Amino acid sequence: MKPDSRRPGFANDRAYFAAGVDIGLADEVKKTVGRQVRATFRPEVIGAGFFGSMFRLKGYDEPVLVSSVDGVGTKLKIASLLDRHDTVGIDIVNHCVNDILCCGAEPLFFLDYIGAGKLRPPQVEAIVSGLVRACQDVGCSLIGGETAEMPGMYSEDEYDLVGFIVGVVEESSIVNGSDITTGDGILGLPSSGLHTNGYSLVRKVFDIDSSPSCLGEFHPELGTSLGEELLRAHRCYYPELKPALPLTKGLAHITGGGFPGNISRVLSEQFAARLHRDSWDVPSIFRLIQEKGGIEEGEMYRVFNMGIGMTIICARQHITELTSILPEAIVIGEVTRAEGGERVIID
């Protein structure tokens, strides 16, 4: 494609364009994206689009800022193969919102980073549409981001998506697991699928990189194609869990590392979690992956969420009240005294 001489600054940018970077196109994409993200601005946003975005923090007595950063990972390979990019923006926002929720934080603002071999406006706009939708769902402002065109770093069809979030919680309301003790109950909330982890293993199991046509194959046990199942958006737990936070001792977002890698993060060293695998139904996609890949049961629980995206630890006497607030919540285990070895036991 020839460079468009009508784009601002083109006359001075021939060398950079020849190197694979189109500054004019990047400027156009940023203007379009800018119009989309303004729909997410809360009243506290007082500056965006400058060298730094500004957010006025007010209404708290002892505010503690909670931040997190993460990426979508190789789920982006599936999105690129299917040329569907509207769900990955939802993925990264919801992933980050869930992470700071584990501290009891309300999401305030979000920033994104998109690095691509070649900027494709429809692709970027689809990604941002997902970011905007997910931010609006939780009242979070999308106040900044970066879009970088990096030929040679990525192929023209590849991109990376990273998100950064800042939330706030009153110091007296921080959820950190410090009062967890033996006998506390462990509840689970269902996931919407794989969420955003385990995709490198999934790609290998189904040989997706070499045979992408398998993504279009319909699986009766899934009720949809493999590709549609793998692109299900990461579920956000903030709206439903917010009213339940006062009854909650600890929260663990089940992402990379599965159950052992995440539940242990909210337990003191003297405690362990005992989970009962028969207490919930494992969705068909996980059984399909396990059978196709010949993967041991223990590894499945260390890699995937196995149908439980968020776990909640609470006092035994609060279980009934919590399950009335959270109708989907299932009692999946209890806190026990650690006796050496595994901190998370799944029996």
**Domain contains 9:** no
Into how many domains does the chain fold? 2
Specify the pairing of strand 106-116 against strand 344-346: unpaired
Residue at token pair 């999946």: 332
Range of the domain at 128: 15-173
In this structure, are 88 and 215 located in the same domain? Answer: no
Q: Pick from 129, 150, 173: which residue ends a domain?
A: 173
65 part of a folded domain: yes
Output the domain CATH number for residue 229: 3.90.650.10
Contact call for residues 273 and 227 (beta carbons, < 8 A)? no
> Is residue 120 located within the same domain as residue 226?
no
Residues 219 and 75 in one domain: no
In a domain, 243, yes or no: yes
Q: Same domain for 217 and 127? A: no
Residues 206 and 151 in one domain: no
Give a yes or no: residue 270 inside a domain. Answer: yes
Q: Are residues 151 and 237 in the same domain?
A: no
Q: DSSP state, 276? A: -
Q: Which pLDDT belongs to residue 262?
A: 97
For residue range 72-108, list pLDDT tens digits in order.
999 999 999 999 999 999 999 999 999 999 999 999 9
Maximum alpha-carbon separation in the chain: 71
Do 190 and 265 lie in one domain? The reply is yes
Distances (CA, A) of 153 to 88, 206, 239, 249, 343: 21, 26, 38, 44, 40
62 and 104 share a domain? yes
What's the mean per-residue pLDDT of the chain?
A: 91
Whether 214 and 155 map to the same domain: the answer is no
Span 175-218, pLDDT tens digits: 999 999 999 999 999 999 999 999 999 999 999 999 999 999 99
Which pLDDT score, from 0 to 100, does residue 103 have?
Answer: 98
Please indicate, yes or no, if residue 46 is contained in any of the structural domains.
yes
Q: Which residues pair with 294 in a beta bridge?
A: none
Cα gap 70→121, rounded to integer Å? 23
Local confidence pLDDT in tens for the 347 residues of the chain: 344 443 444 555 666 666 666 666 666 666 666 677 788 998 898 877 667 888 999 999 999 999 999 999 999 999 999 999 999 999 999 999 999 999 999 999 999 999 999 989 899 999 999 999 999 999 999 998 888 899 889 888 899 999 999 999 999 999 999 999 999 999 999 999 999 999 999 999 999 999 999 999 999 999 999 999 999 999 999 999 999 999 999 999 999 999 999 999 999 999 999 999 999 999 999 999 999 999 999 999 999 999 999 999 999 999 999 999 999 999 999 999 998 888 999 99
In terms of domains, do 73 and 206 share one? no
Q: Of 150, 173, 196, at which residue does a domain stop?
A: 173
What is this structure's pTM? 0.91
Query: Which amino acid type is present at position 166?
Result: V
Q: Is residue 203 part of a domain?
A: yes
Residue 1 lies in a domain: no
**127 within domain boundaries:** yes
Helical (H) or strand (E) element with 335: strand 330-337
Instruction: Clarify whether residues 198 and 145 are in a common domain.
Output: no
Q: Are residues 154 and 208 in the same domain?
A: no
Among the three residues 118, 143, 173, which one is the final residue of a domain in this structure? 173
